[in-house]
């Protein structure tokens, strides 16, 4: 079952840590090609260990420029009208498929990426990109619930807690259309990739009936709201929550018993990338076992790099953490987000209506 899930799965997850020697820019600002001595990356926040940036820059005499996005839809919108100068980006599985269909990604020269052999077999030749023609997996993970146990007074194991009136004004939802609808659909026992309007209407009704619970839609910053005690419960990517657990022993993470969404984030080269050769070097570098392990240990996400695992480079506390590497019974309940083609408009419309109804 695990293998079956992973062959169509994806990890949406992630956030950015600024690296010394790299420049972070507002992703809403226009970006121009920075020249041959620069590798321009468009990625998630708190996403890559700063030392990895520094090492690559020193080895390749290049400067890394790193802009950030907070959702796959934001990434898509940025690149849809044309690549403003990025060499590399990190879409999740379903978005990879969308971008391939719309000719937004360059085919990879796999001869330049020999370290792809380090990937575990189940992460090669995935359904959203057969034969890895356009993408190479980087990290994977799940949507989870993060909470402050001092505030909740108990352990949490269900999405039902999001709709409990005792948490009025103390919950932050993830500002991600497919995640917000997908997790609620799973809770309702429905297909998280449904194309039925009546299913989406049920989700909207569920959230609207509990509108007083929700303080905000957090753009991949729910962990910060939790740390700052602005909310008591958040829906976030599992690694983001696990990172802050090391700073606050009252923070907990849960993969709800009803199941959740699972994602793979991938390294891809946008169409028209000005420094494609350097981008392929970076992809190959990221697949080195030591580099993959450093990123995974920093991010608290599972890594698809089997050699890194086999060599014992992944911290044991992470390997044994069921909220990072889910056991088989939990993995069996994980569902991947799929590209829905023209049916995505159903979600776009429902998402707009939901935000208006919640007033967030």
115 falls within a domain: yes
Does the pLDDT at position 12 exceed 50? Answer: no
Domain that holds residue 207: 143-260+335-358
Kindly state whether residues 279 and 240 are assigned to the same domain.
no
Is residue 245 located within the same domain as residue 164? yes
The 10s digit of each residue's pLDDT in 248-303 is: 999 999 999 999 999 999 999 999 999 999 999 999 999 999 999 999 999 999 99
Q: In what order do the strands lie in the sheet with 63-68?
A: 23-25, 63-68, 38-43, 88-89
Q: What is the pLDDT of residues 159-190, one digit of tens each?
A: 999 999 999 999 999 999 999 999 999 999 99
Q: How many CB atoms lie within 10 A of CB 37?
A: 11
Whether residue 255 is found in the same domain as residue 353: yes
Residues 180 and 268 in one domain: no
As a whole number of angstroms, the distance between CA 324 and CA 222 comes to 18
- Indicate the angle between helix axes 289-299 and 50-60, nearest 10 degrees: 150
Q: How is residue 257 written in tokens?
A: 């018993």
Q: Which CATH number characterizes residue 278's domain?
A: 3.40.190.10
Give a yes or no: residue 235 inside a domain. yes
Q: Are 152 and 136 contained in the same domain?
A: no
pLDDT exceeds cutoff 60 at 64? yes
List the beta bridge partners of residue 15: 45
| Number of domains comprising the chain | 2
Q: Are 169 and 215 in contact (CB under 8 A)?
A: yes
Of residues 339, 343, 330, the one with CA closest to residue 8: 339
β-partners of residue 119 are 305
pLDDT of residue 36: 53
pTM metric for this prediction: 0.87
Is residue 61 located within the same domain as residue 18? yes
35 and 89 co-located in one domain: yes
d(CA 70, CA 176): 8
304 & 339 share domain: no
């Amino acid at each position: 079952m695990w293998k079956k899930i992973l062959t169509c799965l994806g990890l949406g997850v992630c956030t950015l840590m600024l690296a010394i020697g790299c420049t972070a820019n507002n992703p809403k600002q226009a970006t121009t090609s920075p020249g041959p001595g620069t590798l321009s990356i468009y990625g998630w926040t708190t996403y890559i260990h700063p030392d990895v940036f520094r090492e690559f820059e020193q080895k390749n005499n290049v400067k890394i420029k790193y802009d950030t996005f907070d959702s796959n839809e934001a990434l898509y919108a940025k690149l849809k009208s044309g690549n403003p100068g990025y060499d590399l980006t990190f879409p999740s599985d379903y978005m990879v498929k969308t971008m391939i269909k719309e000719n937004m990604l360059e085919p990879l020269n796999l001869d330049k990426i020999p370290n792809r052999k380090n990937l575990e077999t189940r992460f090669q030749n995935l359904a959203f990109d057969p034969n890895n023609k356009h993408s190479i997996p980087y990290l994977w993970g799940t949507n989870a619930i993060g909470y402050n146990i001092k505030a909740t007074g108990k352990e949490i194991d269900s999405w039902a807690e999001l709709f409990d009136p005792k948490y009025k004004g103390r919950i932050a939802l993830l500002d991600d259309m497919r995640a917000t609808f997908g997790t609620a659909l799973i809770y309702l026992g429905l297909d998280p990739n449904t194309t039925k309007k009546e299913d989406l209407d049920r989700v909207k009704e569920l959230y609207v009936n509990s509108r007083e619970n929700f303080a905000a839609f957090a753009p991949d910053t729910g962990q910060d709201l939790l740390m700052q005690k602005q909310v008591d419960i958040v829906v976030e990517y599992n690694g983001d929550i696990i990172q802050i657990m090391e700073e606050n022993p009252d923070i907990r993470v849960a993969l709800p018993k009803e199941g959740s969404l699972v994602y793979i984030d991938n390294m891809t080269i946008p169409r028209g990338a000005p420094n494609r050769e350097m981008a392929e070097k970076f992809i190959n570098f990221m697949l080195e076992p030591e580099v993959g392990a450093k990123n995974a240990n920093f991010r608290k996400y599972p890594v698809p790099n089997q050699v890194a695992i086999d060599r014992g480079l992944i911290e044991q506390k992470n390997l044994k953490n069921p909220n990072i590497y889910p056991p088989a019974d939990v993995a069996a309940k994980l569902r991947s987000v799929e590209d829905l083609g023209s049916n995505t408009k159903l979600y776009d419309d429902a998402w707009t209506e939901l935000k208006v109804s919640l007033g967030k």
